[in-house]
Amino acid sequence: MRRWTGTGLLSVMLGSGVAWAQSPETLEAVRLHRAGARELAHKDLEACAASKCPDAGRIALLAGTLALAEGDVTEARTLLTGASVSEPLQPYLAYYLGQAHFYSGDAAQAAVAFAKAMEKASPALASRTRARLGEALLAAGKAKEAAPVLEVAAKEEPSAELLYQRAQTRKAMGNATGEREDLKAVALRYPAHPYADEALAMLEATKPPLRLTLAEHLQRARGLLDAGAPKRVLEELEKAESRKLARTKQDKAQVALVRAQALYSTGKKEEAEQALAVARQGPPSVAAEAAYVTARRALKADDNVKAREQMAAIEKTWPKEDVADEAGFYVGWLDLQAGRFEDAVKSFKAFDQRHTGSRRRDEAMWYRALAHIRMEQYGPAREVLDTLADTFPRSSLVPQARYWSARSHELEGAGADVTGPGYESVIATAPNSYYALLATERLRELGKEPPAAFPEAPKQLEAAGVLPELKLAVALTEAGLFSDAAEEVQARSARIRGQDQALTFAQALLRLGEYGHAHAVAARYLWGRAFGARAPEALAAFYPRAFANAVESEASRYKVSPFLVWAIMRRESAFRPEVASAADARGLMQVIPPTARAIAKKLSEPEPAPAELFSPSLSIRYGAWYLSQLMKRFSHPALAAAAYNAGPDAAVKWVQQKGSLPLDLFVEEIPFRETRGYVKQVLADLYLYQSFYGKDAAPQRLSLTVPAPNVEGVSF
């Protein structure tokens, strides 16, 4: 079953005077997927029956979906059969009743229910209902009826499940070619899916049996490698070799390259290196890739001297291969990281000449300019920076180039009359950027009043009633179907056409507390309105005071700036409580379970279940506490942000290595690309939030000096 996710609609509506059939405790438990949610829903249903309340059907719908989520299909059928709900909820009642029938083994009744759901399903519900209808018809032995349904469903969303089911209907309809196409697509596109092996077995059972080529075995192996299944990669390669498909030297080299990567993942370093030796004997494309794997491993192990040697050798030996581009870039980057600034200038200049079509030319120019700056060669630095801005006017590095061009004048001793216009240009052209923040501080240092980046603060509009497009989402939230409500909002957002509609929709979402969806709509449609026209109504969706009561309360409790909490929240989750990362970070503040357990221990409270980290209130509390501890240890928001992203130990190490640099140079030389960008955005957002909403407080200044962190303090 799908994981239940929360939406901002709940917190807004609980305080809106809505008459709730379910208790607030039940809805909160459902939103967090707590173990006792089902029991609470039953209590609500019993209380409703005793008082003869009119919402028994709506409560039964919630209780039935909870029973389904826990695998109790018998109870789900009992609760959902005969339940009466309002018209907007009727397709959802039919859909979940169809689910209950299907998992009870009654595919025919499931098909009837899914067909009924399709009659009035919203677009968000229709696509998954159509898929389930096709599956139910197929399971009921009605392949002819299932075929047209699954043709549409698989075209809309070609998932492994739908392609596999469509293959079955095609077989039943005598379409052997179509069947084989679908089965092969499942086997090759989704090699880690359980249906992939079944699809292969069916292909091998056809007459004549279909056998994969070496290229197809390698495609499956690479897919399994990406899916984190290295042992299965090795099995796949063994199948290919058992059929003696790798006949040529080139074939054997390709197999060896993939095998080496799988062996590294299983900890078999010596065997992996032996495989790479075979790969390096192959054609240039394979040999270069094998050498690049070795160089990247040296880079990951912080053996930068060896990595630099190997990257340089790749670029020299295989200059026409794709990896030569990346290798050449890393040569310059490693020179810069090692403080060999003159070498870095030469390396990046050579890179620019050799790789004229590289997607990294603007970045290479920037690092070349930075190397000049570090050698105090400000004139040459400006030449490169101006070339970057002129050659790549749409590059995200242009504000950076403009700031450092002005800064280089200042470092040469130029006065405000020379440097001021450059800083003002950054503020005018990139008002929401980290470099606009730096330019503002530099102007203040020069005794000049910086221009206002935004004449007006974000403005949330008032409106009567709920936007018609959001009424179904509200009804679903009232019923406790939070995941369905979120899907409905997302589907409605995807159908927006034009900035005016987007602005109206984003503002309506803000009023409902759907900050994440409002921000997503703004990011897609309202960038120019917010940062070009500086419209306060558009800015409100980019910089909302999301979950304001919780943020301000917890920030006050732990003595940390609420603006820092919002800045981190914006970068971590874009205000979406339901977000989970590949590293299992969860919720608004993206707290991982081990960190949550450590925080709970510090706060002397029970460890939260992982699902509870999706709770906005808990995520904000833990995030605020953690930020307060980081600020106590590091005393600067840039370092606190770096530690939040990369860990306190990394932040301490960077300060020890380069803390003597001014802040702007220190941030540019953070070695992790992700952390570098993270710190820049958090700082920009922090000071924008302060300027927008901190009017009653004294203006906060950004310190351009990197402080030494305390030895003691939070270390996790």
Q: How confident is the model at residue 466 (pLDDT cuts 50, 70, 90)?
A: confident
Worst-scoring range by mean pLDDT, 458-467, 469-478, 650-659?
458-467
Give the pLDDT mean for 266-292: 96
Task: Pick the closest to residue 513 from 6, 4, 2 (CA basis).
Answer: 6
What is the pLDDT confidence band of residue 23, given thresholds at 50, 70 and 90? confident
Segment holding 537, helix H or strand E: helix 536-542
CA distance 449 to 451: 7
Q: Which helix (H) or strand (E) holds 214?
A: helix 214-226
**Per-residue pLDDT at 31:** 79
Q: What is the pTM of this model?
A: 0.89
Beta bridge partners of 586: 580, 591
Domains of the chain, first to last: 9-204 (1.25.40.10), 468-542 (no CATH), 548-693 (1.10.530.10)
Percent of the chain residues topping a pLDDT of 70 = 97
pLDDT above 70 for 630: yes
Q: pLDDT for 583-616, tens place per residue?
A: 999 999 999 999 999 999 999 999 999 989 999 9
- For the chain, give the percent of residues with pLDDT over 90: 90
Tokens coding 114: 């899914």
Please give the average per-residue pLDDT across 226-233, as a whole number. 96
Instruction: Express each pLDDT in 399-456 by its tens digit.
Output: 999 999 999 999 999 999 999 999 999 999 999 999 999 999 999 999 999 999 999 9
Model pLDDT, residue 700: 82
- For the cut 90, the answer to whether the pLDDT of residue 2 exceeds it is no
Contact call for residues 360 and 329 (beta carbons, < 8 A): yes
Please give the angle made by the CA atoms of 584, 585 and 590, to the nearest 5 degrees: 170
Q: State yes or no: pLDDT of 663 exceeds 80.
A: yes
**Per-residue model confidence (pLDDT) at position 396:** 96
pLDDT at position 644 is 98
Mean pLDDT within 454-477: 91
* Residue 172 buriedness (CB in 10 A; 0-12 / 13-18 / 19+): middle
Question: For the segment 171-213, what is each residue's pLDDT rounded down to a tens digit?
Answer: 999 999 999 999 999 999 999 999 999 999 999 998 888 899 9
pLDDT digits (tens, 9 = 90+) for 473-531: 999 998 999 999 999 999 999 999 999 999 999 999 999 899 999 999 999 999 999 99
- Alpha helices by DSSP H, listed for 157-213, are 160-172, 176-189, 194-205
Distance CA 156, CA 14 (A): 37
Hey, is 586 helix, strand or coil? strand
Q: Is the pLDDT of residue 18 over 50?
A: no
User: What pLDDT score does 13 carry?
Assistant: 46
- pLDDT reading at 11 higher than 70: no
Give the tokens for residue 680. Answer: 């820049």
pLDDT at residue 680 above 70?
Answer: yes
Spatial separation of the C-alpha atoms in residues 550 and 337, rounded to whole Å: 42
Residue 539 has pLDDT above 60, yes or no: yes
DSSP 111-143: HHHHHHHHHH--HHHHHHHHHHHHHHHHHTT-H
What is the pLDDT, as a whole number, of residue 207? 83
pLDDT higher than threshold 80 for residue 12: no
pLDDT digits (tens, 9 = 90+) for 97-155: 999 999 999 999 999 999 999 999 999 999 999 999 999 999 999 999 999 999 999 99
Which pLDDT band, with edges at 50, 70 and 90, does 374 fall under? very high
Q: What's the mean per-residue pLDDT of the chain?
A: 94
> What band does 697 get if pLDDT is binned at 50, 70 and 90?
low
The predicted pLDDT at position 9 comes to: 55
Mean pLDDT of 621-633: 98
What's the whole-number mean pLDDT along residues 24-49?
A: 88
- pLDDT of res. 7: 52
Burial class (CB in 10 A: 0-12, 13-18, 19+), 146: buried
Residue 304, SS3? helix
Confidence at residue 626, expressed as pLDDT on a 0 to 100 scale: 98
What is the C-alpha separation between 237 and 258, in angstroms, rounded?
8
- For residue 28, pLDDT over 60 is answered with yes
Contacts of 371 (CB under 8 A, 6+ apart): 335, 336, 341, 342, 344, 345, 348
pLDDT at residue 359, rounded to an integer: 95
Residue 206: the pLDDT is: 85
Asked whether 457 and 545 are in contact (CB, 8 A), the reply is no
- Residue 1: band (very low, low, confident or very high) from pLDDT cuts 50, 70, 90: very low
